[in-house]
Structure 1
């Protein structure tokens, strides 16, 4: 099967040229446009999630041979969560090559975090099936590279720290709300507010909701700790 020019360009961005191009086409096909002759990416997503988990487990063990399971678990969760997968998908322009049904496309499917994260896991599985585990591992490590190193020094994220601060003072968990979204589809800017039960709040903007939430939580936690008795 001959791939379209946009999928050929996507191959270049992920660094893998498919021998079985049908695998890539299936990986980018959402259930909203699937048919008996055009399977969707859900089964590939299932497999890709497991491949990603194995690659990240191995990478974290090698990166920090002395880390305990308690230290490794939050790092692992941060690297494989759907938000991280969606971030990588946006960097690759995966949303632009997704095959979506009309209703999903009209509702902004190319920007949906869960949809992007699922599709990236499907792409990982497609590379695994096409080129083997080594090809999948090399691609994942290349795409996640900077995140793997960053998570080693920031395993306890700001949202978790702020929630622990609130609970220690008898406050309910912080709440997060999206205040606005601006910018083009390929480079969105989200503004998010975090608010505590005592009324204290902070806003922050970033190119993903998760990053904006983390930044807002970090700012609010720093302010609360500075005024803590």
Structure 2
């Protein structure tokens, strides 16, 4: 476990960087990929300032219904957002271990949202694969619908990379329209890539046909 955890500090007052004990490569990765960032250490309080009185925690009413999911995306990702607890802007009251757990949780849910968006963008490839399973020719089914399966896998992998590179869901506090535009742009980039690959394949077939024509 030496790669994940560094040397532990004997005392943790909750104000240190929760990523300070991680391997530098892993720390940089989490700082880039997780929507939740570690909170900065609190500014030192002046001696003349009064000590703030902590507010009493709110006690839920016994008749209170299920927790409302306050998601900027409405019901679109309700099943995922229902499992994610927003951490707010300040985590200074939490220990470094608790802050790190929150950062890892935010990274995990961002990864889930990216996977969901990639599958939404690949709905055409999913439909083609299902159609092959149901009504494909004997030759297609004998090959296990490998062509359609490969197209879906390529779409999913490429869309995931585009979404991640363009910062999809990298900030849960920003308007939902930003991430929707990123999702649409990722799909546009993939469709352009598919068209370029098709044109390149057509050129290769034309060149092969021309060579065969010269030989005959």
TM-score by length of structure 1 reads: 0.32
Bigger fraction of residues in helix: 1
**TM-score using structure 2 length:** 0.34
Which of these two proteins has the greater Rg computed from alpha carbons? 2
Higher strand residue share: 1
Name which structure has the greater RCO, CA cutoff 8 Å, separation 6+.
2
